[in-house]
Chains A and B, each alone.
Chain A
């Protein structure tokens, strides 16, 4: 069954710009889907349709079989948790713990249970020691994890991340990578909107490419990323490991640094 389904969706902004055009897309339960594309391709507009923040001008978006036009944003958000690109737009509580408690209380979860869930989420995302800290004093990476923890605390069925790696340093990127990997292996449904192909490539998820409001490619990363021209037209660049694979005429591309290094070492010896 699909968890989220777009059927021939068109979205016209108030200024007349068509941000989504003829978009059809199904996200299945337990799938990890990357939505990639250049600035202005319609990625964020697409994502805002997933929890009803935006409604289609024509066509249908259904979430767990219900059309978003007929559902409240609150009910949809309970099942589809959205983490925005800019953490500061999402954070407003006095402490990290209260930030996580906020959503839980809003969804009517009893205080005792909310407390327990919040504690677990903070622990899982490595924020337990920072529970009492005002969120605005946290680093960029800590804020990002706090936003994810706050959403994951109410256990939505789907997690949607908008450009999670923008401005994140190495420790934060690698933790984020671990978080996404963990969600993927525990069969959670995750949608990641990103133009960071270097980050996505080692995960090699199903990849949807958007350009000018349309879906121009949809398939396994290894197939989609091979279409160099299409990627370039969509404002993207091949990840370095893929460039390297191509230069050595590899049919099976390298997806990890160790794998590339081992092959090159072997090749160096053979000569």
Chain B
């Protein structure tokens, strides 16, 4: 264990903009953690994600200070193809990253680009498709798939590269609640089974806070809070920084103070009944 992603007093201002997108940001993610990045629109979340996979500074010009380290490498001096092996990226809309005619070709794309042997590619693709439960879709055209299936194909395309870190930018915002829950459970399983570190941006906190180890909240380009989801969601002023806390969290904050915060309904009800019973 150790810090696998680390931001140290990091500032980035896109060329042509009048103020930095992120300013003086310091936080870190431990290896094997699930970290949720939250905050209002325009608070700097996407800039943080782009700074982890090296799109910043390698593709987006701008003014930069401070340091971002990913798996021991300084992002600014590491070429993007090397970062691409460490960091898998999943966008909000899988349409933006799926472009081959069959699922297996799409999943194989990154490996083919790196010049792997066909046999190795086949093995890795089969493994990833199996892991995500979509082996039966291998020969299908991605365009015929449902949104949830497309999201899995895009995820498989990242996993074959054997990344250490998975970065997800609002992976569920276009999905219906059940499919969104499936994707979140899947990401949680990949984190546990493969030890993948996960960094994700998500607005639907009721979905992700129960499975997260760490939450970092950005507001006005700076880190507003960092800690466990229960610590962070327990704070005052969440609405002011653009967060919609889960209804169950809102309820608990209006109750006479208890210890800590339950992040889902079952957890809360168990605690409430135990507490009430205790006092009888």
Contacts and interface: CB of A to CB of B under 8 A. Distances in A.
B235 interface: no
Interface stretch (A50-58, A103-111, A153-161, A258-266): A258-266
B247 A235 contact: no
Interface residues of A, number: 41
Nearest to A241: B247
A41 B40 CA distance: 30
Contacts, number: 110
B248 A268 contact: no
A169 B181 contact: no
B133 to A, nearest CB: 17
Contacts of A14: none
Contact of B255 (A39, A140, A167, A264): A264
Contact of B248 (A39, A173, A240, A248): A240
Interface string B233-262: 000001100111011101100111000000
B110 interface: no
Contacts of B179: 38-39, 235
Interface-central residue, A168, A248, A257, by most chain B CB under 10 Å:
A257
A197 B247 CA distance: 12
Contacts of B173: 166-167
Nearest to B92: A167
A232 B179 CA distance: 11
A170 B42 contact: no
Number of chain B interface residues as a range: 35 or more
Nearest to A254: B251
Contact of A170 (B92, B146, B148, B244): B244
B96 to A, nearest CB: 13
A265 to B, nearest CB: 6
B73 interface: no
B214 interface: no
Nearest to B246: A240
Interface stretch (B29-37, B220-228, B272-280): B272-280
Given A169-B203, A198-B206, A141 B251 contact: no
B279 to A, nearest CB: 6
Contacts of A268: 255-256, 272, 275-276
B123 interface: no
Contacts of A237: 177-178, 181
Given A170-B242, A236-B178, A257 B279 contact: no
A228 to B, nearest CB: 12
A271 interface: yes
B137 to A, nearest CB: 16
A238 to B, nearest CB: 9
B131 interface: no
B40 A170 contact: yes
B147 A166 contact: no
Interface of B: 39-42, 92, 146-148, 170, 173-179, 181, 203, 206, 238-239, 242-244, 246-248, 250-251, 254-256, 265-266, 268-269, 272, 275-277, 279-280
Given A39-B148, A169-B203, A261-B250, 11 more contacts: A40-B147, A167-B170, A174-B239, A195-B176, A197-B177, A198-B247, A240-B247, A247-B265, A257-B247, A257-B254, A265-B255
